[in-house]
Structure 1
Amino acid sequence: LPGAKLQAMTQATAYKIIRKLKMEKPTYRELLNRRATMENMTRAKAAAASDDGESPPARKIWRSTFDKDISRSIRFFLWMLIHDGYKVGKFWDNIPTCQQRGQCPRCGVHESMEHILTQCGEPGQKEVWDLASELWRMKTGNDLRPTIGQIMAGGVTKLVDPGTTRLHKILITESAHLIWRLRNERVIQQTGSAPLAEIRNRWLKTINNRLAIDCAMTDEFKYGKKALKISLVKRTWKKTLKDERTLARDWPKNIGVLVGVG
């Protein structure tokens, strides 16, 4: 990467260079060894363990923060989540006049990322996972109620087939990130709790946008080797689409297909 010509550099290349340089800094390597990071990594590895109890190596968890099936902004979210890098909860305890920021006003407990993403009683957390679970039941017949460890390991968990694994990855990471955004709007921007109808509509828009991106990415003429295989897109979204039985066999070529929730 050193010596790359500026005029020939794409945004993706520049991003990789900046991230590589950042990761080579001693402060970054020290961050990897923080106690909170190590504890979160242990939780993520345990959540991603195979049926025989074997946990994936830490490097596999870290590689998932580069997973192309996960939106770039969400990759950074997962990276920060594992590092316990967000300023919530106990972060505020020793800052004069700011201690109240560490409390969840609805639940009366210390905020943590685990509380925000899987436990909080404010509108958003439960409603988003209810919607994700509804779609997951359409796909597999099972509920989807991830732990914080499963969210951290969202890009690693392997299921029965590549399509199911991929949808699991998309549902968990997109849903968790939406819950985080809703919390920030409520707490930081002080917009108040979002109406339930808005939460539902935003989740549907989020997942349908991912479906639309998948469809668009099957264009081999436009994306070449980076194009998604139509077969993978079909396996990913099988059993989850609106009016699925009436869709053409090559439906991924037609942007406008929607999930069947709602």
Structure 2
Amino acid sequence: MAFFGYNDPRNALLTTQTPENAYHATLGEAVAALYAAQRTPRDVPLHLVSTSPFLTKAITTKLAGWEDGGWIGVPHADYLAALANHLRQRCAVTTVRHASTPWEWKAIDWIRDRACPLLLNHPLEVVRPTSNPSFRLSGARLASLTQATAYKGILATRRPPARQGTARNVALALAALAPRQQRSSEELWTSLRHKDIRHQVSDFLWKTLHSALRVGHFWAHIPQYKDRASCTNCRCEESIEHILLECTAVGQQQVWTMVEALWLKTGLAWPGMSLGTLLTLGTKTWTNPGSKRRREGASRLWRILVSESAYLVWKLRCERVIGHDDSPDWQHHELTVQRRWHAAIDARLQLDIASTRHYLGGRTQKSDVVLRTWNKVLEDEIALPDDWTRFGFLVGIAPVRLREHDPG
């Protein structure tokens, strides 16, 4: 009889490379069950007892659907498919159940106590998802295959070559995260689709992380367009980092100065702006100084301010370089930049206020979330009612002054 569960020390080691939550901890149960099935003779009864119902559902109610779909999109599919393969090869009694009796829970606790010293004194053993081809179902059942599932399966088989620019930006972004906020590359890509980031801005950030924007070196090897590789204002090779953070043309410096001034009104320190900080804005969380308690409102405001400001800098650059390509010396006026930035942030504020209306149904944003987001950054906030989301036309962000500052 094999006992294992989410809190088993063995499973904790098996899941060190996955996020710390119950969903990903299921990998530990799948690996532990596969290990038991591989080591137990096929003619010896095997009883798998777990502390959660995941394994029971995986082997019974969900298995047929996963196999019909060709295991497409199923987390830990390699280990779960291998487990089903080994269980089909058995000729003795095999059961899978959720621990329910006091004796089973006592046995699990006893095993946990013994497992800790064993893990410290013995090397770990790699569990490989081996299977017998004679008991393996390949592919998906045509009758149950949908277009969406088939498309996911096609994408899963593709192995696009690694792009140097993408790998460089991903490494740069992950290095910008604090040690306690480390994320995987998959989580980094997902964070760019955060619900607090507008779709249009999210696409821009995705292209930035992928080095897919047509700037700098993109034009360097194209005849008759090599001059587009250089910044017309700074006379150096143009890159997305140069555009957003380094260019001396009117735009980026003024925008980040206003972002800093508004952010300091929250009482939190300005971390400085870099390309890595910008690309990880979806994973950034803020806490009060000297405390571990998260400030969800400030974290949400950070995502809105930084994403909208970066996208505005990009639009200002495109207007200057592309919209006025016949006038290389043309630049925006500082007052125009200031007004456009205020308009962009005010538009997000009004969108937040509108999202609290009940007529939106399931898409309604909770008013307390909006109130916490814009706390301390509104104009004449002390004179506003407690729930100012009902009076959107009276609300605007506090004015900020431009001053000379290096955002880097």
TM class, shorter-chain normalised?
A: 0.7 to 0.9
Match of 1:163 among 297, 302, 310: 297
User: Match for 2:373: what amino acid?
Assistant: T
Which deviations, in whole Å up to 9, do the C-alpha atoms of 1:34-90 show, x marking residues without a partner? 12111111111122x2354x5201111111222110011001001100000011111
Residue aligned with 2:266, SS: helix
1:174 alignment counterpart: 308
Aligned-residue offset at 1:144: 5.5
Aligned-residue offset at 1:22: 9.4
Change (3 A) 1:134 1:94: same
Match of 1:253 among 390, 396, 405: 390
2:160 alignment counterpart: 30
Measured in 2, the distance between the counterparts of 1:116 and 1:70 equals: 21
Q: How does 1:1-262 map to 2 (within 5 A)?
A: 25=155, 30=160, 33-47=162-176, 49-52=177-180, 55-143=182-270, 145-160=272-287, 161-190=295-324, 192-219=330-357, 221-256=358-393, 257-262=395-400
Structure 1 stretches lacking a partner, 5+ long: 1-16
Measured in 1, the distance between the counterparts of 2:282 and 2:246 equals: 22
User: Match for 2:269: what amino acid?
Assistant: N
Instruction: Using CA pairs under 8 Å that are at least 6 residues apart, name the structure with larger relative contact order, 1 or 2.
Output: 1
Which deviations, in whole Å up to 9, do the C-alpha atoms of 1:112-132 show, x marking residues without a partner? 000000000000010000111
User: Match for 2:383: what amino acid?
Assistant: T
Change (3 A) 1:209 1:80: same
- Structure 1 vs Structure 2 CA RMSD: 2.3
Measured in 2, the distance between the counterparts of 1:138 and 1:23 equals: 49
Measured in 2, the distance between the counterparts of 1:151 and 1:132 equals: 13
**Matched residue pairs, number?**
241
Moved more, 119-128 or 222-231: 222-231
Measured in 2, the distance between the counterparts of 1:111 and 1:22 equals: 37
> More helix per residue: 1 or 2?
1
Change (3 A) 1:26 1:60: closer
User: Match for 1:46: what amino acid?
Assistant: A
User: Match for 1:30: what amino acid?
Assistant: P
Q: TM-score, normalised by structure 2?
A: 0.56
Moved over 4 A (4+): 20-29
Measured in 2, the distance between the counterparts of 1:150 and 1:100 equals: 30
Aligned-residue offset at 1:27: 11
Change (3 A) 1:230 1:24: farther
Residue aligned with 1:175, SS: helix
Identity of aligned residues (%): 33
- Equivalent pair of 1:134/1:261 in contact (CA under 8 Å): no
- Equivalent pair of 1:146/1:172 in contact (CA under 8 Å): no
Measured in 1, the distance between the counterparts of 2:187 and 2:341 equals: 28
Which deviations, in whole Å up to 9, do the C-alpha atoms of 1:95-143 show, x marking residues without a partner? 1121111111211110000000000000001000011111001112533
Which deviations, in whole Å up to 9, do the C-alpha atoms of 1:222-262 show, x marking residues without a partner? 22232111111111111100010010011012212100124
Structure 2 stretches lacking a partner, 5+ long: 1-146, 288-294, 401-408
- Equivalent pair of 1:92/1:102 in contact (CA under 8 Å): yes
Measured in 2, the distance between the counterparts of 1:123 and 1:187 equals: 12
Residue aligned with 1:188, SS: helix
Q: TM-score, normalised by structure 1?
A: 0.85
- Equivalent pair of 1:22/1:28 in contact (CA under 8 Å): no
Residue aligned with 1:66, SS: coil
